[in-house]
Structure 1
Amino acid sequence: MPNTRTVQVNDIQMHVRDEGAGVPVLLVHGFPLDHTMWDAQIAALSAVCRVIAPDLRGYGQTDLGAAGDPPKVTMQQYADDLAALLDALGVDEPVVYAGFSMGGYIGWQFVKSHRDRLRALALVDTRAADDTDDARKMRLKMANHVQEWGADKVAEAMIPKLFAESSIEAVHPMVARTREVIGATNPQAIAAAQRGMAERPDSTPDLPGIDVPVMAIVGAEDQLSKPEEVRSVVHAIPNAGMVTIPAAGHMAPVEQPDAVNLVLTEFVKSVGK
């Protein structure tokens, strides 16, 4: 059975899966998902390290807490929650932070505000730039209307952008599972995250100052964080590598788990010595 528990983190009860022993690896899920997107990675990595996979504020079984009216959670607030989670779990050594998509946006703030907690950084299907004007408008439109639309409509709109065409055509089981997770998400949490992402800063100027080992992983068919954009991020960071995962879209960890697991396992082993 998965080792899950709920701990007090700032003003919320945060649900977290905590497996294995050794170098701590913090797996941070994307929008609008929960920690279960990492199930395959947890199973593989927990054999060689301690894996900590929380549900972020408002997602899965974690409270949204006081998010304001209209609701908004900034990337900084998510990052501060994660630092507080490490305190609550008694993690006093630096972690390998692995952030998927929005989890990567949160990671840039974690690097800036909690550098002492960081051993290395894994960027999974994510980007450093802020939103274009059009993307920002689309986020705010969803934030303003998701309550009336419902989370199922969000899932319907997002699925074609999340997976490689081959995964959708083959009826990949994780497509249905991802649709289910999104459809069960609190619309208020969706709105809060969209507003937070819409105002996130451009992290590109910060890239040359990142002084920990970095590994970027991206699906070859990712429409949202395209490989060429990820490559430009990697080139700007002094100690960074990149692996492109064939036959995967934005959801590389669930579409091609074995390939992603191999990269993450080797990366964790290399920085844990």
Structure 2
Amino acid sequence: MADLPLVLLHAFPVDARMWRPLRDGLTTRHRLITPDQRGLGRTPLPETGRAPSLDDAARDVLALLDKLGLEQVVLGGCSMGGYVTMAVLRAAPERVAGLVLIDTKASADTPEAAEARRGIAGRAESDGVSGWLAESMVPNLLSAETRQTRPEVVESVRDLIESQPGAGVAWAARAMADRPDSTDLLAATGVPALVVVGEQDTLTPPGAAQEMAESLPRGELVVVPQAGHLTPVEAPAMVTEAILGWWPFG
């Protein structure tokens, strides 16, 4: 099982370019697959006529695995990518050999959080994302330390957000708002699981990450110092080291 590919799914509202700082370190040991999710980056938003659902995002991942001829992978993601990972696990657990859950959570949104996501969706759909989405989200995505001392990281995240299509942002926000609780799903999962969280993550804080790791029968927790909600962007070397050090497949 040493040659299992690693599939990493990106956060909201960015695309797979967020994984670039990890690519060199991870690909020396593993095959790394980092797709853009539907409606974001270079992946178009299909017209299905259905309400937005992470189940469809999970089907996209499974279709990609089928296309690549991959029966089983180590699957993970950051934030929204973690939610999609859980949706894949729910749909096809036999395809998932291990989990990498980064700055994400198993619980569903509160009614207030879901309503806030729907507000973001409505504005993104009507106005696009330029000029407001990055301004509103960067303070929650990056730690105070990163925002104060690393302007190049702040600018990179702003550019990623600003480049996303409004329709894709709207779809993803609505899909996340309606996602189910996955606590019981993870508790019943027997595969090895790595949970990574930024020490200063205010959206999915370390306490919640610890609870998630403890609920996983084979869970392991790594807390990344001085990082916020986008640890792969803020501390790529530490996240790379955490994944390589945890890898339990030979």
Please, what TM-score do these two structures have when normalized by structure 1?
0.87
Pick from 13, 23, 31: which aligns with 2:12? Answer: 31
Q: Secondary structure at the match of 1:185?
A: coil
Identity %: 34
Question: Which runs of 5 or more structure 1 residues have no equivalent in the other structure?
Answer: 1-20
Corresponding position: 1:115 with 2:115 = no
Q: Secondary structure at the match of 1:244?
A: strand
Cα deviations by residue, 1:142-197 (Å, 9 ceiling, x for unpaired): 11122333212111100000000011111341211111111110100111111111
Q: Secondary structure at the match of 1:54?
A: coil
Q: Look up the match of 1:149.
A: 127
Q: Look up the match of 2:170.
A: 191
Q: Look up the match of 1:42.
A: 23
Trace 1:1-273 onto structure 2 (pairs within 5 A): 22-68=3-49, 72-92=51-71, 94-152=72-130, 153-268=132-247, 270=248, 272-273=249-250
Cα deviations by residue, 1:73-119 (Å, 9 ceiling, x for unpaired): 31111111101101111223x21112110011111111111111111
Cα deviations by residue, 1:225-272 (Å, 9 ceiling, x for unpaired): 00001111111111101000001000111111111110011223x2x2
Report how many residues are paired: 248
Q: Secondary structure at the match of 2:61?
A: helix
- AA aligned opposite 1:37: M
Q: Look up the match of 1:10.
A: none
Q: Is the 8 A contact 1:126 1:230 kept in 2?
A: yes
CA distance in structure 1 between the partners assigned to 2:137 and 2:86 by the alignment: 24
- AA aligned opposite 2:81: G
Higher-RCO chain (CA-CA 8 Å, sequence separation at least 6): 2
CA distance in structure 1 between the partners assigned to 2:212 and 2:240 by the alignment: 22
Structure ranking higher in strand proportion: 1
Cα deviations by residue, 1:30-78 (Å, 9 ceiling, x for unpaired): 111111101122211110011011011111111111154xx85311111
Question: Which runs of 5 or more structure 2 residues have no equivalent in the other structure?
Answer: none
Stretch moving more, 22-31 or 243-252: 22-31
Q: Secondary structure at the match of 1:121?
A: strand
CA distance in structure 1 between the partners assigned to 2:76 and 2:86 by the alignment: 11
Q: Is the 8 A contact 1:67 1:192 kept in 2?
A: no
Deviation of 1:130 (Å)? 0.5
CA distance in structure 1 between the partners assigned to 2:85 and 2:168 by the alignment: 19
User: RMSD of aligned C-alpha atoms?
Assistant: 1.4
Please, what TM-score do these two structures have when normalized by structure 2?
0.95
CA distance in structure 2 between the partners assigned to 1:42 and 1:58 by the alignment: 23
Distance 1:259 1:186, change over 3 A: same
Runs of 4+ in 1 over 2 A off after TM superposition: 147-150
Q: Is the 8 A contact 1:72 1:193 kept in 2?
A: no
